[in-house]
Amino acid sequence: MTMWATLVVFRKEMRDHLRDRRSILVAMIYPLMGPLLLGLMFFFVGGSMRVNEVAALVVPVVNPESAPDLIHFFESRGVEMRPVRRNYWNAVSGGRIAFALVLPVHPEAGEDTPLAVRLVANPARFDSIVATGRVVDMLNQYQHETARSRLQTAGLSAGLLDVLTITQENVGTAVGPAVILLTMIPPFLIFTLFTGGVHVALDSTCGERERGSFEPLMMNPVTRNQVLAGKLGATVVFTLMALAVQVVAFWVMLHSVPEESLGLVAPPSALRLAIVVSVCLPLVFLASAMQMLISAVTRSMKEAQTYLGLLPLVPGLAGMVLALAPVTARPALAAIPTFGQTLLMGQLVRSEFVSLGFIGITAVATLLTTALLLVLSFWLYEREAVLFPQ
């Protein structure tokens, strides 16, 4: 009878909430927002950067007549030099041109005097960043070639210029902006874990109390623990549904973005994402237990909604901080529920090495905390007042 009563309550809550638009919206539609947002960033930002890298370069130039050799060098490499007469500063800051190459009006004569070249750019614009990067590369190339030519003219070896040969090898599967975007996935997952089943938890406890259906329910030969366990089960299933929707959406998004968009060399594999889900599992129970606890101590659904609305922000903020200021994964941090998982998930989505011991500590600490919260919730639900509308 113990398990039977719990199963009956669980089945009723599932049937009830699968018919509830709000429960479905929170569990199945809201989780798509994170992948959609990141996908848009990868598509539009990454797309515009890629287009700029391969498109013909047009360089707005001020005083082109003062450095004909330089202009010829650029033009010989297919670059269109577009003279800008005046107000170049306003043109760049006003967004009419992405940047301007400014040459001096009267360059000083002589080979031993460097040509003062200025690049006026707006680093807030992605097209400006990409284009000025290409112009700086070409200026360096011009400088290098001119210096080699001068050395050869002076009878010296051109090799004198080459002090270092630099080669960078990347062991990661993401570089540049992709790293930051991938690190934003764990906070989205944590947020979903703490919101996916929230409506089910609230409606089946506070809502049931407000509608006056808790009292007749408890007139049946069932204990409060059995009833709560059934409601907890439904909350856990809805949270899992939300998690599954979001993980699948992230997987689809990461495999649909333009190749090497924003530096994403290889998206996390399905196996990696499966491990991410397994790392999240203890948090599913923790989030559901917290929701049950809050519904036990609040007097109305509105009051509970106020607290539960803030709840995901706490672990979510930790994740956002980690996204911007990475922390080394240490065992002591693993024992902090949500923080440990955020660290782990960050490593997983960036395809870094993860320690099994760290995963174990995180899971055990979170499940212990969950058990404590559940004991407290079940104890609070034994109070008489919890059955009646306040």
Partner 1 sequence: MIEVRNLAKSFGDLRVVDDVSFIARDGEVTGLIGPNGAGKTTMFRLICTVLRPDRGVTLIDGIDSQRDPLAARRRIGVLPDVRGLYTRLTAREHLRYFGELHGIPRGELEARIDELVTTLRMEDFIDRRARGFSRGQQMKVALGRALVHRPHNVMLDEPTNGLDVATSRAVRDLLRQLRAEGRCILLTSHIMQEVGVLADRIVILAGGQIVLEGTPAELRRRTGLHDLEEIFMAATQQAAREPDLAAGQ
- Minimum gap (Å) between residue 295 Cβ and partner 1: 17
- Minimum gap (Å) between residue 23 Cβ and partner 1: 10
- Minimum gap (Å) between residue 8 Cβ and partner 1: 4
Q: How far is CA 386 from CA 184, 204, 382, in A?
A: 39, 13, 8
Note whether 74 and 113 are within 8 A (CB).
Answer: no
Residue from 93, 141, 213, 278 binding partner 1 (CB under 8 A): 213
Long-range contacts for 35-38 (Cβ within 8 Å, ≥24 apart)?
A: 35/188, 35/246, 35/249, 35/250, 35/252, 35/253, 36/249, 36/253, 38/181, 38/184, 38/185, 38/188, 38/250, 38/253
- Minimum gap (Å) between residue 3 Cβ and partner 1: 12
* Radius of gyration of the chain from its Cα atoms, rounded to whole angstroms: 30
Query: Reduced to 3 states, what is the DSSP secondary structure of residue 258?
Result: coil
- The total of other beta-carbon atoms located within 10 Å of residue 347's CB is 21
d(CA 286, CA 280): 10
> Which part of the chain contacts partner 1 (CB under 8 A), choosing from 118-126, 180-188, 210-218, 261-269?
210-218
- Minimum gap (Å) between residue 316 Cβ and partner 1: 31
Q: How far is CA 211 from CA 7, 234, 365, in A?
A: 22, 19, 37
- Minimum gap (Å) between residue 291 Cβ and partner 1: 20
Note whether 366 and 341 are within 8 A (CB).
Answer: yes
Q: Which two tokens stand for residue 292?
A: 């049950």
Residue type, 371: A
> Which part of the chain contacts partner 1 (CB under 8 A), choosing from 16-24, 49-57, 83-91, 303-311?
16-24
d(CA 385, CA 176): 56
Residue from 5, 229, 264, 343 binding partner 1 (CB under 8 A): 5
Q: Between 214 and 253, how does the x/- string for binding to partner 1 read (CB under 8 A)?
A: xxxxxxxxxx------------------------------
The answer to whether 2 contacts partner 1 (rule: CB under 8 A) is: no
- Minimum gap (Å) between residue 207 Cβ and partner 1: 10
> Which part of the chain contacts partner 1 (CB under 8 A), choosing from 56-64, 126-134, 179-187, 208-216?
208-216
> Which part of the chain contacts partner 1 (CB under 8 A), choosing from 8-16, 154-162, 242-250, 336-344?
8-16
Residue from 3, 15, 72, 371 binding partner 1 (CB under 8 A): 15
- Minimum gap (Å) between residue 54 Cβ and partner 1: 55
> Which part of the chain contacts partner 1 (CB under 8 A), choosing from 84-92, 211-219, 251-259, 268-276?
211-219
The answer to whether 379 contacts partner 1 (rule: CB under 8 A) is: no
- Give 290-354 as a DSSP string: HHHHHHHH-SSHHHHHHHHHHTTHHHHHHHHHHHHS-----HHHHTSTTHHHHHHHHHHHTT---
Residue 20 or 127: the one with the smaller Cβ distance to partner 1 is 20
| Chain positions contacting partner 1, by CB under 8 A | 1, 4-5, 8-9, 12, 15-16, 19-20, 211-223, 384, 387
